[in-house]
Amino acid sequence: KLRDKDLGCPWDIEQTFQSLSKHLIEEAYEVTDAINRKDYPNLQEELGDVLLQVIFHSQIASELELFNFDEVADTLNQKLIRRHPHVFARGVAPESAEEQAVIWEAVKKEERKEDRPQPTFADIPSSMPATLRAERIQKQASKKGFDWASAHDVILKVEEEIAELKLAISNNDPDNIEEELGDLLFTVINVGRHLNIDANDALARSNNKFISRFHSLEKELEVSEQSFEGTSPQELEKIWDRIKLDE
C-alpha cells in the first residue's frame, strides 16, 4: 500500500534499490549500537527497521518481476539447510563452533563450484566498511597460506610501517603519506586478527572511551569556569591525564 501509485506515500513510491541501500546500512549500525548499549527495547525497534528494509527491497524486486519476499525467505531457508548438514541431514555433528565454521566454508565452496570460478577476494564487497573489509581480505589470504606466523611478527611490521610513514611525512609527500597511513592501519588490523580481537569493536570502544573522557574534561572546565580557548594545551593535557587516572 505504501508504494501504491495512486494512494501510496510519495517518498516510498520513488525509492529504488540504490536510494535505499544507505538506509539499510544505517539501520544495521543502529542495531549494533542498541546491542552495545544493551538497550533491548530499542534493539526490538531497530530490528524491525532492518526487517522493513528487507521487505522494502523485496517489494521493489517483486514490482520489477525479479523475486519476492517469499523467495528471499525460501533462499535463506535452503541455504541454512545446506550449510547445516549435521542438523538437517543427520550428518556427523561438529564438536565445536570452529569445526562448524570449517563445514560452513566447505559447503560455500561447493556452492561456488556451480558458478564460474572467481578470483580471490571477489566475494568481499568493496562497499564494506574498510576495517571489516581488511579483516576479510586478511582471513582469505591466510587461508591461502599467506600470513604472518604470530602477532609478534605483525607488530614488527607495524613498527616498519610507522618508520615508512615518518619518512613520507618528512618528505612532505601527501600521496605517499596517505598510502603509508593506509598500510599502517591495514597492519594494525592484522595485529588484532592474530589476537582474535575485532578491530572495529576495539575502535568503537576507544571512540566511546574518548567521548566519555572528553565529556569529563568539559565538565571540569565548566566547574572551574574555564574554556577551551582560554586554557593552554599543556593544562588541557594535565586535566586529561588526571581524568584517565581517576577512571
Phi, psi of 17 (to 5 degrees): -55, -45
Distance CA(162)–CA(54), nearest Å, equals 43
The three cell numbers of residue 170 are 618528512
Amino acid at 190: N
**Segment (H or E) for 94:** none
Let me know: does 175 contact 165? Beta carbons within 8 Å. no
Let me know: does 85 contact 42? Beta carbons within 8 Å. no
Residues of the chain below pLDDT 50 = none
One DSSP character per residue, 144-208 reads TT-S-SSHHHHHHHHHHHHHHHHHHHHTT-HHHHHHHHHHHHHHHHHHHHHTT--HHHHHHHHHH
State residue 95's pLDDT score. 67
CATH T-level topology, domain 10-82:
Helix Hairpins (1.10.287)
pTM for the whole structure = 0.70
Contacts of 63 (CB under 8 A, 6+ apart): 3
CATH no., domain 130-246: 1.10.287.1080
The domain spans of the chain are 10-82, 130-246
Reduce the DSSP state of residue 116 to 3 states and report it.
Answer: coil
Does the fold of domain 130-246 match that of domain 10-82?
yes
Let me know: does 193 contact 158? Beta carbons within 8 Å. no
